[in-house]
Amino acid sequence: MSGAVLLTERLGLRPHTPADAPFMLRLNADPEVVRYTGDSAFGALSEAEAVVRALEQQWAEHRLGRLVVVDRVSGERLGWCGLKWHASEAGVDLGFRLLRSVWGLGYATEAGAACLGEADRRGLRVFANAMPANVGSVRVLAKLGFRPTERVDEDGFMRFVRERAG
Ligand SMILES: CC(C)(COP(=O)(O)OP(=O)(O)OC[C@H]1O[C@@H](n2cnc3c(N)ncnc32)[C@H](O)[C@@H]1OP(=O)(O)O)[C@@H](O)C(=O)NCCC(=O)NCCS
């Protein structure tokens, strides 16, 4: 699987490239996918391209960021998953977003676990934000060892924290 920086049993995770923008556009075009994310569909391909450029830049600068999740065998794009550095919090958040057609197959848990492994190798403090109504996401976070806190931001995202393994 070319370009993968993380591999799991079924998945490859690789940095974004400009060629991923049309996929990003398609992913966010599904109202169910963006329902609990605070995002909306991109208005134009150029908007998706700008986001992909920002993700590429974050990777180039920090070797850290949201990664494209692909089927390890076919290379087909399934979504994204990864860490995002927050300087103000001296930590990274874990996020994930997949095509609806592949929900419920354990992919977010599998990709998330690989990202947490990387965070642990680098000694990073990891947290996550999810709307309590986003049952699938909350379940994935629980499976990955996160626990909810009392903290909810003004957009309705609850803070989840995880004690570092080991
Ligand atoms: C959240 C998301 C990434 C989960 O991906 P996934 O690959 O389906 O997750 P997994 O298969 O690893 O695990 C999902 C778990 O939630 C459970 N689940 C999903 N929807 C559920 C629902 N409506 N009610 C109860 N449980 C639900 C599944 O049964 C599974 O738990 P289990 O393994 O105990 O059976 C995916 O739904 C998604 O892309 N959603 C849109 C984007 C999003 O909301 N991202 C998170 C923002 S915080």
Burial label, 66 (beta-carbon count in 10 A; 0-12, 13-18, 19+): buried
Q: Which of 13, 78, 139, 155 to mutate to test the pocket of ligand 1 (most atoms within 8 A of CB)?
A: 139
Distance 97 CA to ligand 1 centre (A): 10
Task: Kindly state the average pLDDT of the residues 95-113.
Answer: 98
What pTM does this model have? 0.97
- Widest distance between CA atoms in the chain: 45
* Dihedral (Cα; 103, 110, 14, 146), 10-degree rounding: 100
Indicate if ligand 1 lies below 6 Å from the C-beta of 58: no
Q: How far apart are CA 81 and CA 29, in angstroms?
A: 18
Q: How far apart are CA 29 and CA 32, in angstroms?
A: 9
Distance 161 CA to ligand 1 centre (A): 18
- Continuous segment of H or E residues that includes residue 150: strand 147-152
Distance 94 CA to ligand 1 centre (A): 14
Task: Kindly state the average pLDDT of the residues 91-114.
Answer: 98
**What's the pLDDT band for 165 if we cut at 50, 70, 90?**
low
CA distances in angstroms from 53 to 16, 24, 49, 86, 151, listed in the order given = 8, 12, 6, 18, 31
Q: How far apart are CA 118 and CA 124, in angstroms?
A: 9
Residue 140 CA: which ligand 1 atom is closest?
13
Each residue's pLDDT tens digit, 43-80: 999 999 999 999 999 999 999 999 999 999 999 999 99
Position 18 pLDDT exceeds 70: yes
Position 166 pLDDT exceeds 50: no
Instruction: Find, among 81, 83, 48, the residue nearest to 63 by Cα.
Output: 83
What's the topology of domain 6-161?
Aminopeptidase (3.40.630)
**What's the pLDDT band for 98 if we cut at 50, 70, 90?**
very high
pLDDT of residue 2: 74
Position 1 pLDDT exceeds 70: no
Report the share of the chain in percent with pLDDT over 90.
95
Indicate if ligand 1 lies below 6 Å from the C-beta of 27: no
Task: Kindly state the average pLDDT of the residues 17-32.
Answer: 98
Position 163 pLDDT exceeds 90: no
